């Protein structure tokens, strides 16, 4: 008899699933010279998981449901530390937008002003946001809020903010018992209410709403991700990749992760097809892997992969500490906006 997947199993699945998906894609990032079929012991995760863990440590040390500003200051400090002393000892192909914004943080620019506006639509926000859903699985609307907020220090654009928020809340809903498509639908519903200041507390008011490189489009974000997930089972993969566009941008990256989750029935299928059919393989693998980890739990990930991933002891410890923070959080019906210290 198969053991049911409980909330703790799913939460650990997010943390390990993120790192493993990231590491699977790392060797073939922007290269189609070979196809990855398994996680090798020397496959390292990238800056995606390094920054995921930086946010995770801030969630543990300064929980945002206690004080959001203290949390965001901790995120900023951890990002600065990551730039100087990255987890695992080396930088792993960090994006230019993230590095420039974190450099700005290091000069004393506040986190509210350090992020790149206008063209700051890179996938460097969504790649790290699932950890917020792991912590706030009892309060997915709050996970949406905080997931989006973690985008602001580097990518202060509504598309990036919503992409990160959707990843965070989708993981939260799944851990809490929703099916994958139910969780995504709920997250897209939240995104459609993007003018709600509780759900989306900060986005650049001086950047136009609409299409184009120098604007921000919530409707493109919602519609593109929804279409990718819904059409996935019957879609032609080649056509999808052509239509989806450059997955170095946040919306195509999240859309790709949702596409492969809609087609996959187990963790291995989701992550291997995701990394082998993407350009920014590590990032799409990280996002898809975190969501698949929530769906199938850490017990649904190959044991040789959970044994082989680097810093596995640290990752399990981080997951345990996130569990201790999250299990005592009030559920979404009890978490009152008035109780949150801003």
Per-residue model confidence (pLDDT) at position 336: 53
Residue among 314, 335, 287 nearest 60 (CA): 314
**pLDDT per position as a tens digit, 103-154:** 999 999 999 999 988 878 999 999 999 999 999 999 999 999 999 999 999 9
Per-residue model confidence (pLDDT) at position 305: 97
Per-residue model confidence (pLDDT) at position 33: 61
Helices 7-25 and 267-276 cross at an angle (nearest 10°) of 30
Domains and CATH numbers, the chain: 7-330 (1.10.4080.10)
* β-bridge partners, 155: 116
Residue stretches of the chain with pLDDT short of 70: 1-3, 30, 32-33, 331-342
**pLDDT per position as a tens digit, 255-280:** 999 999 999 999 999 999 999 999 99
Per-residue model confidence (pLDDT) at position 118: 81
CB of 25 closer than 8 Å to CB of 36: yes
CB of 129 closer than 8 Å to CB of 3: no
CB of 56 closer than 8 Å to CB of 131: yes
Residue among 146, 162, 180 nearest 326 (CA): 146
Q: How far apart are CA 98 and CA 83, in angstroms?
A: 10
**Which residues are CB-neighbours of 17 under 8 A, at least 6 positions away?**
267, 271, 289, 290, 291, 292, 293, 294, 298, 301
**pLDDT per position as a tens digit, 104-118:** 999 999 999 999 888
């Amino acid at each position: 008899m198969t053991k049911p997947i409980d909330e703790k199993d799913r939460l650990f699945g997010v943390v390990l699933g993120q790192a493993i998906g990231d590491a699977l894609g790392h060797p073939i990032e922007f290269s189609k010279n070979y196809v990855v079929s398994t996680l090798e012991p020397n496959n390292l995760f990238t800056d995606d998981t390094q920054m995921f863990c930086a946010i995770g440590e801030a969630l543990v040390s300064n929980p945002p449901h206690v004080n959001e500003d203290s949390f965001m200051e901790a995120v900023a400090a951890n990002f600065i530390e990551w730039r100087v002393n990255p987890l695992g000892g080396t930088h792993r192909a960090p994006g230019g937008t993230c590095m420039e914004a974190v450099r700005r943080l290091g000069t004393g620019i506040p986190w509210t002003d350090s992020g790149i506006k206008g063209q700051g639509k890179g996938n460097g926000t969504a790649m790290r946001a699932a950890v917020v859903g792991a912590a706030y699985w009892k309060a997915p609307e709050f996970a949406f809020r905080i997931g989006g907020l973690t985008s602001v220090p580097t990518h202060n654009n509504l598309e990036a903010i919503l992409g990160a928020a959707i990843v965070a809340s989708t993981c939260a809903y799944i851990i809490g018992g929703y099916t994958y498509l139910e969780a995504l639908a709920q997250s897209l519903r939240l995104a459609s209410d993007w003018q709600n200041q509780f759900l989306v507390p900060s986005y650049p008011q001086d950047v136009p709403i609409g299409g184009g490189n120098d604007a921000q489009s919530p409707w493109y974000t919602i519609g593109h991700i929804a279409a990718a997930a819904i059409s996935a089972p019957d879609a032609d993969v080649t056509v999808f990749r052509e239509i989806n566009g450059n997955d170095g941008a946040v919306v195509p990256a999240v859309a790709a992760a949702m596409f492969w989750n809609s087609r996959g029935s187990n963790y291995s299928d989701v992550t291997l097809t995701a990394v082998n059919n993407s350009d920014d393989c590590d990032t799409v693998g990280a996002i898809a892997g975190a969501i698949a980890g929530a769906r199938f739990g850490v017990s649904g990930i190959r044991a040789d992969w959970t044994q082989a991933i680097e810093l596995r002891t640290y990752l399990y410890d981080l997951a345990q500490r996130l569990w201790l923070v999250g299990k005592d959080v009030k559920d979404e019906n009890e978490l009152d906006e008035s109780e949150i210290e801003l």
